Each structure stands twice: as C-alpha cells, then as structure tokens.
Amino acid sequence: MADKPITAIDYLAQPAKHPPKAVCAVFGDDLFLRRQALLCLRSAVLGDDDGDFSLSTFDGRAALFRDVHEVLSTVAMFGGDRRLAVVEEADEFVRRYRPQLEDYVARPSRSGVLALDVDALPSNTRLYKSIAAEGLLIDCGTPPPAKLAKWLVQWAKQHHCAELSQAGAELLVELVEPKLGLLDQELAKLALLAGDDRRIAVESIRRSVGGWRAKTTWEMLDAALDGHLPEAMTQLDRLLASGEQPIGLLGQISASLRRLAAATRLVIQAESAGRRPNVRQSLEQAGVRSFVLQKTEGQLRRLGRRRGEQLYRWLLQADLDLKGDSAMPARLVLERLIVRLAEKKAPGREPAR
C-alpha cells in the first residue's frame, strides 16, 4: 500500500526521520517550502563536504531524460559515492517523460538520487503512486493557519535564534500573506529588532509588520465596526490611492469578519438549545485571538445579531461583485460593505441590505 506524502513542515522539522530515496518528488504551491526541502535533500544525500561535485541541476523545461539518466547512472569521482540530480520546474519534464520516469522508479540506479521539483503531482497518476510506494513525496502546499502558526514558533527558534509566542505567531499569520517566504522575511526582521533576551514581542509585531498599509487596513475595519464611518472612508481612500487592489483589501478583512459571523452563529445556537449564550466564549471558539478579545467583543455587541447573521452573505456578495457579477465600481462595492458595518444598530428593524 502506498505511503502518504509527508508535509514539508514535518519533513523540515525532522529530516533524519525521512531519508532520501532513489526518487524524491517535491511538489506544492509554496516555493519557499520547496526550496527548503530541496536544500535538506541535498544535505542528506551529499553532506557538506565537496557536495557540489556530485550535484547536477537541470532545467525541466529543456532537459532531456537521457542526460538526467546518465548522471544518475554515473558514480561521482569526487564528493562521495552518490550523485544527486535535481530537475527544477519539472512539470514539463514530467509530462514529456512520464513513461520513462515510471519505469525508472521501478528500476532506479543505485548510484544516484533523482529529485523532481514540480508545481503539481496529481495523486491519481501512476507516477505519484509509484513514488509514494518506492520513493519519497514531500508536500509543499501552503499549510492551514493553525499549523502555520505552530511552524513559525519552531522556525523562529531554529533558524533565527529568537523566541516567538503562539499569540505572536497567530498575529503574524493574520497580518502577512500566507506565504512562508514572506513570513520568514518578517521573522528575520523581527529577530534583529528583538532585545538581548531574543524575545519577539506581540507589540513589536503590531508596530513593525506589514508597514502602514497593514496598519491602515485594520484601522479601517476597526473604525467601521466601531461606527466611525468618516474615519473608515478616509482610511479606504488612503489604501486605494496607494495602489491597493479592492479584491486584496476584501481578502484582508474577510477573515476577521468571518470570525464575527461564526461567533454570531454560536450565540444563536446556544439560545436555540436553551442555554445562556456567552459572547466572549463564542468569539474564542470562532478563533478570535486573546489579545483582541475584549475589543472584538465590543464590536460584535455593537454589530448586533441581525447584522452578524448577514456577514457571510455580505462578504460573498462583495466577492462576487468584485469578480464581475456587478457593474458597480469596485470602490463602491467596498464602500457599501463599510457602510453596512458602520451604521448604528437599530432594534426592531432589519438593517439596510
């Protein structure tokens, strides 16, 4: 039975537990993870002494299978008895030589290790199943936010000699686009700013990460949820004038609004079950971080149940409108959402739709 692929995060944490096989495939949408996984494979196969003599790198868009096979079948004169052939951007290479690669996985050379670096490797293909059974598959897809935050804590310690709290990691994931290369860059900057104790404070993350654009985005959302419509519109003006794209701004604020929507549903479910709802507990269950819990509770109470119930629909409508379902200018789509968030709660009537 074929083995499941190992995630890149698990592989990088303990590469010795997963020794390289004759054929290894590194695949997924995160280029940083793929690069780090290939570096680990190189170290495991070639070590640190004269490894370059035994390394051959090929451009998958132009490489010929016979050239790669020749390298794998030839014992290196220097740097150990194994050779490593890395085929970069190998999607086209895999498409052109799939039958040869399938045969090679079944009967690989003993003197070389083949590493395929691909964007995608469908799990329903014979090649995927063969490598899963006989080789090593490393999944470099972007991990979910919860796992990403845990990884950041470990990565900060291992590679930046800095201490990052779970709350700090969760804030980083919220502020930065979920690309590990960008997160690593922010960690490197924060580690340099840390004091002698090498601790990365949450306040330092708030102050330093994402620049004024990230700060302004959250200020815009906070102003809207607090009922300060003119201030929210001013921040929107700044962001759009700086070149921010409306669809990107919607993406940045959607996660926070979805947590408010989820908390509203939990409150309603508790009431339907005859239990007294706990707003703060509902927010925690919805994923609101502890350091913004008090502020978010006030915002949810101001938003009210009926508008909280409509948040999912409003976000979906805004997303579809920005992607072409409406002739309304993109700016007006965002303004309509901000107005809905900022208007006063009016007991006894439905909010404007």
How many other C-beta atoms are found inside a 10 Å radius of the C-beta of residue 316?
11
| Chain mean position to CA 14 | 20
Taking only the tens place, the pLDDT of each residue in 272-320 is 888 988 999 999 998 887 778 899 999 999 999 899 999 999 999 999 9
Q: What is the pLDDT of residue 346?
A: 54
pLDDT above 90: residue 80? no
Taking only the tens place, the pLDDT of each residue in 108-138 is 998 899 999 999 999 999 999 999 999 999 9
The Cα–Cα gap between 168 and 188 comes to 14
User: pLDDT category, 77, cuts 50, 70, 90?
Assistant: low
The Cα–Cα gap between 23 and 97 comes to 14
pLDDT above 50: residue 247? yes
Residue reference for tokens 């960008």: 182
% of the chain with per-residue pLDDT over 90: 56
pLDDT above 80: residue 10? yes
Which range (138-152, 252-266, 335-349) has the least confidence?
A: 335-349
pLDDT above 60: residue 1? no
Q: Which domains does the chain have, with CATH numbers?
A: 6-139 (3.40.50.300), 145-209 (1.10.8.60), 212-342 (1.20.272.10)
* Pairing mode of beta strands 83-88, 112-118: parallel
> 9 and 147 in contact (C-beta within 8 Å)?
yes
pLDDT above 50: residue 352? no
% of the chain with per-residue pLDDT over 70: 92
Q: Residues 66-86: what's their mean pLDDT?
A: 81
Residue 84: phi and psi, rounded to 5, are -120, 125
Alpha-helical (H) ranges within the chain are 8-13, 31-46, 65-73, 91-96, 98-106, 126-134, 145-160, 166-175, 180-193, 202-208, 211-225, 229-241, 246-272, 279-285, 293-303, 305-320, 330-342
pLDDT above 70: residue 348? no
What does each C-alpha distance from 265 to 258, 261, 310, 347 come to in angstroms? 11, 6, 10, 19
Which range (135-139, 171-175, 253-257, 294-298) has the least confidence?
A: 171-175
* Pairing mode of beta strands 83-88, 136-139: unpaired
User: pLDDT category, 180, cuts 50, 70, 90?
Assistant: confident
pLDDT above 70: residue 252? yes
The Cα–Cα gap between 304 and 308 comes to 6
Q: What is the pLDDT of residue 2?
A: 45
What is the value of pTM for the model shown? 0.61
